[in-house]
Structure formats: structure tokens, C-alpha cells
Amino acid sequence: MMRRFNLHFSIFDEERCVEAFADAANPFDTAQYVLCSLDFLRKSRRRFEQALEADWDLLVVDEAHHLEWSEDKPSRQYQVVEALAEKTPGVLLLTATPEQLGHESHFARLRLLDPDRFYDYETFVEEERQYAPVAEAVSRLLSGETLDNDAKNTLVELLPERDIEPMLRIIEAGDVDSEQQETVRRELIDNLMDRHGTGRVLFRNTRAAIKGFPQRHLNMYPLPLPTQYQTAMRVASMMGGKMSDEQKAVKLLYPEDIFQEFEGESATWWHFDPRVNWLLDMLKANRQEKVLVICARAQTALILEQALREREGIRATVFHEACRSSSVTKLRHTSPKRKRAHKCFCVQKSALKAVTSSLPTSW
């Protein structure tokens, strides 16, 4: 946040709260911009109550799809955010997968943003059933098609007649230039989005809609499957029991795990895995480049760091979900021009966001 937006945030944990006690009775009153773990507030009732007493202007919750909710039993994390949201004028929930934990949890997050608008789950479900004719009318507007009577009636039910009638006349008029008709058509669509459904509280950003991203290039490197893996996978298929095709496919993505099921956790699969050999050759061929290796699991990142260090003496830094944020912060003070600076960074995929937001600009 400091590097990109010049906003100086303070990371609050128990240690920081104890230190801040000398300056104020409520540690959250000692900083204007605060980053705080939801688990920290969940586990400490005292700190949670102090956070509630602070006068916040804006609450931002990242990875909001993890907030589980049911009408009978909301999660403690949800209750913490709900209490803060009730006392904060502005609330922003960030998530790339809003319905990951189900439709009910998606409604619960909308309820955090506007409890008066989204007050009852069954009412929300019934309202969503009425979206189909609205979507059909919007599709016709987007494509420039003529609206039939059913579509017009649907729009009139949603918007005041005094607002929509002048727009419909311009859209259907034969003596109005196409540019003006397109402008009015867009205005009508914007009004529908603003006044219907989740238009005022749910905003979607896609990579295609935001400029400035570098273009991605896919480079594939097919590698042979080692005999050790072939044997382990063949035995696993005979002993697998009743597994769905999807479960089998996911398991086959990690042949090293299948190998260790039979050879033990200490089996050094990285001695013969061609992917490790390929990575080593690539790093040696690009010694002056900085490389980010994204792993699905924390254990894989740790083992790769060991393989790079023991086989070629290559220094690598590892970061995964269990690491403290201070581990990444140390990289800010590591100059890539130094002789023994980190050249390879092995990261667990789920912890990637924390890493990329903290890396020095030189990376």
C-alpha cells in the first residue's frame, strides 16, 4: 500500500497492541490506517471490543468468501465482521469467488453491505427467480434489438414510468440518430443495474476490463513420467477403491504424493523428478534473472528450496500460509544487486497475494 499508493499502514497484532498501550488506552486509536488479521480479533475478545470502540471510516475485508454464515449458526469470523460493519459507514468486501461457499453465504455477505435491502434469505431467493425476464430485456438492449411488449412491461415494473417512457421513445424513434439512441440505451441499462438486484453493492472486475496488465504467454515443457511414479500410480489405481473420476484426476496431479504414500514421507522424490531437473537447468541458464516459483502446497515449496540448496547451492526464499508477514517484509531490505541476494522465490499459491503485494519494486 505504501509503495503503490503512498498509504502508510500499521500491522496490528498482540505485540503491537501492547506497545501502543503507552500512547492510548485503545491501541486502535494510535493509527489512522490499520491492517489486522481477522483471526486475531476472533481469538481476543478484548482486542475485538477495542476495535469496535474505534471510530472507523472504512472497513475492508479481503478474501471475504471465507466468511461462513447460516441463519441458525453464523461463524465467529462472520459475527466479528458484522459487528464492525454495523458501526462503520463504509464497508468493502473483496473476493474473487463470491459463491464459493454456497448461495446462502453469498447472501450473507450482501447482508453485511446493506442489511435493510437484504434482510431475508428466502425473499432474496424469490427475487432472484424474477431475474430472467430482466436479463432478457437487458440482452435485447445491449444487442440493439427491438423490445417487445413483454420486455417493455418488465422494464416499466422496475422503473418509474415517467423515467422510462421518454427513453423508450428515443430508442424506438426512427428520426433519432444512432449515436443518441445508443447513449440513451446505455443510460437505461445503467438505471436498471443501479436499481435492480445487486447492482448497487456488487461490482465485478475482470482482467480484460482493467488496463495495464502485461500480456501472459503460455510455454509448455512436456517431460517424461519417471518409472518410480508409474509404478506408484499403477499400484494406487489398484488399491484406490471407489473414487470418482474427478478425485482420481486431482490425485494424479501430484505424483510425488502418491510415491510418498508407498515409500514414506522421507522419500526424496526430488532426486529423480524431471520437473526439479528442469527447474535447476532453467535457473542455471538464467542466473541473472529473478524467478518466482508458484507451488500448490506449502510442503512442495519447502522441498524445492531444499533441492535447490542441496543440489546446486542456489539460495531460495520460501513463503507459505503459515509464514508471518515479517518474512516477506525482510525481502524489502534485500537488494537484488547484492552477490548473495535471493534469486528464486518459492511460494504457495494460496499465499501468493501476500507476497506479490510486499515484494520490492526491483522484483
> What grid cell was written down for 239?
488399491
Per-residue pLDDT band at 118 (split at 50, 70, 90):
confident
177/327 Cα distance (integer angstroms):
61
3-state class (DSSP) for residue 263: helix
Please report the pLDDT score of residue 50 as a whole number.
95
Q: Answer for the pair 355, 347: CB distance below 8 angstroms, yes or no.
A: yes
| The pLDDT of residue 329 is above 70 | no
pLDDT band for position 339 (cuts 50, 70, 90): very low
CATH number, domain 2-128: 3.40.50.10810
Q: How far apart are CA 325 and CA 322, in angstroms?
A: 9
Looking at the chain, the domain(s) classified CATH 3.40.50.10810 span 2-128
Confidence of residue 208 (pLDDT cuts 50, 70, 90): low
How many whole angstroms separate alpha carbon 215 and alpha carbon 211? 11
pLDDT surpassing 80 at residue 356: no
Cβ atoms within 10 Å, residue 75 = 17
Q: Is the pLDDT of residue 352 over 80?
A: no
**pLDDT band, residue 191 (cuts 50/70/90):** confident
Q: What percentage of the chain exceeds 90 in pLDDT?
A: 31
Q: Above 80 in pLDDT, residue 242?
A: no
Query: What is the amino acid identity at position 237?
Result: S
pLDDT for 123-174, tens place per residue? 888 887 777 777 788 888 888 888 888 888 877 777 777 778 888 888 888 7
Which ranges in the chain are annotated with CATH 3.40.50.300? 271-363
| Average pLDDT across the chain, whole number | 83
Report pLDDT for 28: 94
Contacts 24+ apart (CB under 8 A), 84-87: 84/51, 84/52, 84/56, 84/59, 85/59, 85/112, 85/113, 86/115, 87/52, 87/56
CATH number at 271-363: 3.40.50.300
% the chain with pLDDT above 70 = 87
Contact 43, 13 (CB under 8 A): no
The length of the chain is 363
- pLDDT given at position 324: 57
104, burial (CB in 10 Å: exposed 0-12, middle 13-18, buried 19+): middle
* Most confident region among 82-91, 200-209, 337-346 by mean pLDDT: 82-91
**Residue 81's CB: how many other CB atoms inside 10 A?**
26
Phi, psi of 334 (to 5 degrees): -105, 110
For the cut 90, the answer to whether the pLDDT of residue 338 exceeds it is: no
Strand (E) or helix (H) holding 295: strand 291-295
Contact yes or no for 272/246 (Cβ under 8 A): no
Kindly indicate the confidence band of residue 201, based on its pLDDT and cuts at 50, 70 and 90.
Answer: confident
Asked if residue 205 has pLDDT above 80, the reply is no
Q: Rounded to an integer, what distance in angstroms lies between the CA atom of residue 110 and that of residue 52?
A: 21
Residue scoring higher pLDDT (200 or 294) = 294
pLDDT digit string, tens, across residues 266-324: 788 999 999 999 999 999 998 888 888 988 888 898 999 999 999 988 888 888 877 75
